A and B are shown apart, each in its own frame.
Chain A
């Protein structure tokens, strides 16, 4: 796959509020603009849907909810929460802005908290530094994040920001760890046919656990799994 086709870029203007999308066209309205770029997620899926579900998903994909400015802010936040500077990639490599956009459209209860949260963030940023969140310096952005990233911060004024940040952290981590990058990061080993034969010996030792003989006698000897079961009349398996 051509990586270019799978990336989305939005411009992050250094000053003032205007943010211009590049989405394919090359016009740049602002000098000095820096880009924020992320991997695109597919908009077509096939995984055992009913007709009604197919229609629902098509409708969701066709819907636009976020303004460009909001999408850029989401991208910037996701990137702070799980940066790309890691061998297993980060939020933007995992297409987080697209994922957040879809989930927010899918779950009505997210719409207002995310829109309102972004507005709160901009307002706080303007009050503190002048420009809105995406147009302040990176150091300034992090200083705001340091205030709202920890729920133990009791400052009444920050509570709305704190719950918004928690929501964004939830969505970012869930969005990342449900991609191939996240699976690699976690070393997830499942979702594949196998023959479960108990906890590995070394792990048992490490945890001071063992299988006692009585229990083991009730468990499948995996070398017999393919032999057709037969019982005697007293409920004893004889094969």
Chain B
């Protein structure tokens, strides 16, 4: 492998890296895909967690430090990685979720797949805050179309201007608690439509299975009926002989020549702790927004003293995450319900997109509502506070003995919850940077976060709380817990907690205020590209991944084109 010079070295195998690999390999380029985590396949019996019963785990699916979202969750990684710390500046409490596995976080993501709308690329024009993207919806929509068809997504065409239609598979029918929500939302004049998720309710090709409704996408699908970068994009690419996959390989930096052009990457082989170099004509960073910023900042050289692509001092800046808040209610109408299998697809079947565009509010960006509830499979935590809802029925809480079986039955599935996900306003001062003193176990300087919400996000969270209360009550629910007040930022999540971190290498036309051009190409180094959410100028009131995929495809087309024209 020593003398091999790849056409493209792709760093990171998540959404962006998977798409770049798929497109570039299909175009006949010789690709090295380099991933810090191990090989992972949910169909491999050694790694499978799907369809396991709770008693197959000694902790019955409870979370651990190593599996923060539960023992069966298909994330190798989480909020903490042994040997790979990150630090906080001042009183910042940024939460950073990292997946270390082939496919990255697309193994265990929620599969909620939302296109950004026309307004989402031009927010500055509307409220004067942040910046516009250098591209508009018309530039990306052909790629959304192609992503829809290649990967498969269910949803419905609603003709909503800022929640554009797509090439959808039909949606699954709502479950009972969702029918309650639909009625409640309609009563409150909040739109509610079928969810949009990259799960195959219908066949799209003969390689992948069709969803069999186990509700366990967060465990990754053994028949590949949901989208993971590994199962849908990378495995097929491995067959053509164009891709060399290097797992357990942690990229330290991009290496450059005297002219400042990239010649490849330097990485640590985690199996033997030794460093190696890989040579390539182009380097495509898709290690996730913050990790990509870290690699760039660590790629210091004579030509690039403050890190690669960082002449503008913009790498790591404008880091922003979605806002979030959530609430739950007890639905007395669902007490003592009939029991049947309603696992459905993983997560919600219905949701509410933002409905107050242009309304006069004390914040300017929107949010959408994600709906939860139902008769899920018991796992650790089931039966806790078994009959607490008795307090609403005038019955006594607590007790012991066989009567508890009746309580379990009575309250099983009698719950409705809402989670809001909103758009925040990117800030120059919110950033990740290199910690001057701390390194990881391979001696690579780690990231330090510096992030504060602004009043916009806090006001938005207050609005979320009012909305959730109104909708839960309109659905027939008794809202649980106390409404968080100003002292708790109205229940606003921590920065990073929603795991939609974007913006660290934002695109733009002006090299002094942005890191890449509209194709993810570094302004400063033309053979280095970013293909993850780092390039986002603003994170809409949508989830980011469908846009990462579309942009990575667009970047790939550009690279192929530039190579044809001999510009690369």
Chain A residues in the interface with B (C-beta under 8 A): 41-43, 45, 47-48, 50, 52-53, 56-57, 60-61, 80-83, 85-86, 99, 102-103, 106-107, 145, 149-152, 165-166, 169-170, 173-180, 182-183, 185-200, 202-204, 206-207, 209, 211, 215-216, 218-221, 224-229, 231, 235-237
Evaluate contact between A231 and B149: CB separation under 8 angstroms. Answer: yes
User: Which of B51, B60, B385: most chain A Cβ within 10 A?
Assistant: B60
* A residues less than 8 Å from B174 (CB atoms): 198-199, 211, 215
A52, A82, A191, A236: residue with the most chain B Cβ atoms closer than 10 Å: A191
Chain A nearest CB, measured from B277 CB (Å): 28
Chain A residue at smallest Cβ distance from B51: A191
Contact A196 B344 (CB under 8 A): yes
Which of A48, A50, A197, A220 sits near B202, CB closer than 8 Å? Answer: A220
Choose from B170, B180, B383 the contact partner of A220 (Cβ within 8 Å).
Answer: B170
Top 4 A-B pairs, shortest CB-CB distance = A173-B383, A198-B173, A193-B212, A178-B54
Q: Which of A169, A188, A219 contacts B404 (CB 8 A)?
A: A169
Name the B residues within 8 Å of A99 (CB-CB): 60
Partner of B213, one of A102, A194, A221: A194
Could you tell me the distance in whole angstroms from the C-beta of B290 to the nearest C-beta in chain A?
A: 23
CB distance from A223 to the nearest CB of B (A): 11
- How far apart sit A45 and B167, CA to CA, in the bound complex (Å)? 43
**A-B contacts besides A50-B66, A203-B176, 17 pairs, CB < 8 Å:** A48-B46, A52-B66, A106-B64, A145-B400, A174-B383, A190-B376, A190-B377, A196-B345, A215-B174, A216-B173, A219-B170, A220-B171, A225-B210, A228-B204, A235-B165, A236-B157, A237-B170
Q: Is the CB of B173 within 8 A of A197?
A: yes
How distant is the Cα of A45 from the Cα of B52 in the complex, in angstroms?
A: 12
B6 at the interface (CB under 8 A from A): no
Q: Given A173-B408, A177-B382, A196-B342, A41 and B58 touching (CB < 8 A)?
A: yes
Would you call B342 and A82 a contact (CB within 8 A)?
A: no
Query: Cβ of B56 and Cβ of A218 under 8 Å apart?
Result: no
| One of B237-245, B246-254, B333-341, B519-527 contacting the partner | B333-341
- Chain A contacts of B66 at CB under 8 A? 50, 52-53, 56
Give the complex CA separation of A80 and B400 in angstroms: 7
Using Cβ atoms and an 8 Å threshold, which residues of chain B touch A56? 64, 66
- Shortest B100–chain A CB gap in Å is 10
Contact of B203 with A191 in the complex, beta carbons under 8 Å: no
Q: How far is the CB of B434 from the nearest CB of chain A, in Å?
A: 27
Partner of B170, one of A82, A195, A218: A218
| Docked complex Cα distance between A170 and B180 (Å) | 29
Cα-based distance from A42 to B60 in the complex (angstroms)? 13
- With A48-B49, A178-B55, A190-B341 known as contacts, the answer to whether A221 contacts B170 (CB < 8 A) is yes
Q: Does B62 contact A (CB under 8 A)?
A: yes
Taking the closest CB of chain B, its distance from the CB of A206, in whole angstroms, is 7
Q: How far is the CA of A20 from the CA of B11 in the complex (A)?
A: 60
**Complex Cα spacing A62 to B61, Å:** 20
Give the interface of B toward A (CB within 8 A). 38, 46-49, 51-62, 64, 66-67, 71-72, 76, 82, 149, 152, 154, 156-157, 165-176, 179-180, 182-183, 194, 201-206, 210, 212-215, 333-334, 337-345, 375-386, 396-402, 404-405, 408-409, 412
Query: If the complex has contacts A170-B384, A177-B383, A196-B173, are A218 and B194 also in contact, measured as CB distance less than 8 A?
Result: yes
**B203 & A227 in contact (Cβ 8 Å cutoff):** yes
Contact assessment for B409 and A174 in the assembled complex, using a CB-CB cutoff below 8 Å: no
Pair A202/B338 contact, Cβ less than 8 Å: yes
Contacts of A81 in B (CB 8 A): 400-401, 404
| A177/B400 in contact, CB under 8 A | no
What are 20 A-B contacts defined by CB distance under 8 Å?
Answer: A42-B58, A47-B56, A81-B404, A82-B401, A85-B402, A99-B60, A102-B58, A102-B59, A152-B398, A173-B404, A176-B383, A192-B341, A209-B183, A220-B201, A220-B202, A221-B170, A225-B202, A228-B204, A228-B206, A229-B169
- Measured between alpha carbons, how far is A178 from B382 in the docked complex, in Å? 8
A189 and B47 CA atoms in complex are apart in Å by 25
Residues of A within 8 A of B212 (CB): 193-195
The complex places the Cα of A211 from the Cα of B175 at a distance, in Å, of 10
B60–A175 CB distance below 8 A: yes
Are A190 and B398 closer than 8 Å at their CB atoms?
no
Residues of B within 8 A of A199 (CB): 173-176, 179, 342
Say whether A226 contacts B173, CB under 8 Å: no
Given A103-B59, A173-B382, are A149 and B51 also a contact pair (CB < 8 Å)?
Answer: no
Identify which of B179, B204, B340, B381 contacts A209 (C-beta below 8 A).
B179
- The answer to whether A219 and B55 have CB atoms under 8 Å apart is no
In the complex, the chain A residue whose C-beta lies closest to that of B384 is A170
